[in-house]
Amino acid sequence: MAKITVVVVDDHPLFRQGVVDAFLLEKDFKVLGQASSGDEGLSLIKELQPNIAVVDVNLPNLNGQQLTRHLREAKVKTRVVLLTGYDDYSQVVHSMAAGAAAYCVKDIDPQKLVQTVRAVFQGKYVVSETEFDLPGLQRWLTEHTVLSSRAYSDPGEPFEPLSGREMEVLECVTRGMSNKEIAKSLDISHQTVKNHVTAILRKLNVEDRTQAAVYALRRGWVRLYENQDQARE
């Protein structure tokens, strides 16, 4: 039987070892390595190419969402299970948009985590122990990101349309990129990015970046993945 190869990335040694130990008890798992920071984890995953990477959201140097996005952009086939201490729907949106295959809170039962990794290995997506295929995940996000956001009026399409550059910035925001990362990606200044974000929030009549991301995802302006084939890679 083919083993599920795994890398674990977490900056808390005791918790990280606990996850590793839980996997070592399973006959169909093989732990290839572990790392304590985002950049170290990214390098290790690229080198070892495991089936699954179990990654903490809050990591030094490079957070879990950024690590996930870097793997996706590099077309690394490893699927990412993100672990977090905060059960927050806004983080779910950004995590899944970044390319994560699962999102779990850290107080998850070890056997539930094992089941989650097995499901992800089989091509499923898992959010808080609920399994989805890709269309199911997209429907779930549409329904729940609205509920998770602070109440705000939905004006339909914005009275002032977004410019092409603003749409580029909004896509980056929806994928969880920081202003610094957006500036580098679009080759514009940090202040210009801030100006665009301010304009986007005003035009969409929303209060923050998360609500802007929700707005874009609900209307299909930014797809969760560029294409379904990429999501399955």
Q: What is the pLDDT of residues 76-128, one digit of tens each?
A: 999 999 998 766 666 777 788 778 999 998 889 999 999 999 999 999 999 87
Q: What is the mean pLDDT of residues 25-35?
A: 96
Nearest residue to 92 via CA among 142, 155, 153, 27: 142
Q: Is the pLDDT of residue 165 over 70?
A: yes
Q: How confident is the model at residue 48 (pLDDT cuts 50, 70, 90)?
A: very high
Question: 126, 102 in Cβ contact below 8 A?
Answer: yes
Q: What is the token pair recorded at 47? A: 């080198």
According to DSSP, residue 31 is labeled E
* Residue 4 three-state SS: strand
Question: 166, 198 in Cβ contact below 8 A?
Answer: no
For residue 81, give the amino acid letter.
V
Burial class (CB in 10 A: 0-12, 13-18, 19+), 128: middle
Q: Is the pLDDT of residue 212 over 70?
A: yes
Q: How confident is the model at residue 2 (pLDDT cuts 50, 70, 90)?
A: confident
What's the pLDDT score for residue 226? 47
What's the pLDDT score for residue 56? 92
What's the pLDDT score for residue 122? 95
Degrees (nearest 5) of the Cα angle 43, 223, 233? 45
Most confident of 6-20, 75-89, 137-151, 212-226: 6-20
> What superfamily would CATH give domain 4-143?
Response regulator (3.40.50.2300)
What's the pLDDT score for residue 73? 85
Q: Is the pLDDT of residue 55 over 80?
A: yes
Options 1.10.150.120, 3.40.720.10, 3.40.50.1100, 1.10.10.10; which CATH number does 152-233 get?
Answer: 1.10.10.10
What's the pLDDT score for residue 145? 58
Q: What is the mean pLDDT of residues 35-45?
A: 95
What's the pLDDT score for residue 89? 64
Place of tokens 């808080």: 128
Q: Where are the domains of the chain?
A: 4-143, 152-233
Nearest residue to 167 via CA among 205, 196, 198, 210: 196
What's the pLDDT score for residue 42? 95
What is the per-residue pLDDT across 128-150, written as a single tens digit (0 to 9) for each?
Answer: 778 999 888 878 777 765 554 44
What's the pLDDT score for residue 154? 45
Average model confidence (pLDDT) across the chain = 83
* Residue 121 three-state SS: helix
Task: Look at the chain and count its residues.
Answer: 233
CA distances from 113 to 103, 117, 126 (A): 10, 6, 10
Q: Is the pLDDT of residue 9 over 90?
A: yes
Contacts 24+ apart (CB under 8 A), 135-144: 137/96, 137/224, 138/224, 141/92, 141/93, 141/96, 141/217, 141/224, 142/217, 142/218, 144/89, 144/92
